[in-house]
Structure 1
Amino acid sequence: MVDFIQRLQQHEEKALRYVVQQYLGYVKAIAHKILGDSFGHMLVEECANDVFLLIWQKCHQFEGDETDFKKWLGIIAKYKAIELYRKHQKYQDTVSIEQAPPQISQDNIEIHLEKSFEKEILLIEVLHLPPSERELFLMKYYLDYTNGEIADILHISKAAVENRLYRGKKKLAKNPKLKECLS
């Protein structure tokens, strides 16, 4: 099924079934590596479901071949697993409503939702960057690697990492919705 990407972009369910069949193990392995055994099997399953739903929703934005698709899928899986890890880590550390401080207000909730929305917009815009810049941004801002770690992984200098991140930020800053996210 060589043309599965095009068929997926046309929202053919058979193509989605093929993608799930081909890449489910890959996605679960990434999710399990990040989530570990501490959160259980159900969270890995939830992550995989979220990844394939996002792939289905955003497949029209993908450009590239099967190798690029696997990388794109892996990056999305890492992002979703980290997001779920952070979300469930917070749940373990939360207190009941009765114990919560009284300063929680509707404004605080709206600010939090706005930041979440901005982060989602930023991710979508990052996925439109050229593959080399996209990889840097995801490693730096979603996987929390240091510039030195990124340089080691990509076999480039730390200065090259910093320059590429700077140029990428300039590109993203042209979008007025993202200026606040990047500052």
Structure 2
Amino acid sequence: MLSGAGSAEDVEECVSDVFLAAWHSIESYEESRASFRTWLLVLSKYKALDLSRKLLRPGAELMMLRDVESTIQTQYSAEQHALSRESARELIEFVKMMGEPDRSLFWRRYFYYESLDELAMMFGLTKKAIESRLYRCRTALKQALGLADAEKRGINHGR
């Protein structure tokens, strides 16, 4: 859930926070409601979402770009590195230019990993309407990045 939102240290911190929260709130666990595994997974999900929101709040895009850069493997050439960095910038700029509610839907679905059901309830739309909006957003993004024509021709620009 934190993929692309933070560094390996952020993930380790999140895991530590989950164990600490489980330790402090073990009395709230009710065996009759869910298995311990499920309770721990739900706790983990919300800790990861909280950290992801913190890392991806407005103005944190630059930090995200630095983290993306730091995870790029050394096997990439300088050209591939530059293309990857530019693609990340283009993606963020494109999302910033989206209108509402598409911008929020896109961020929440693809950066916060919220489910379609959660989004439908949150925005007062049907699940199908959410799927349609996200499809249009992805299509527009592909066109903005020049990927739609390349896909039609079967060309991969390395992005």
Q: TM-score, normalised by structure 1?
A: 0.40
Q: TM-score, normalised by structure 2?
A: 0.45
- Greater per-residue helix proportion: 1
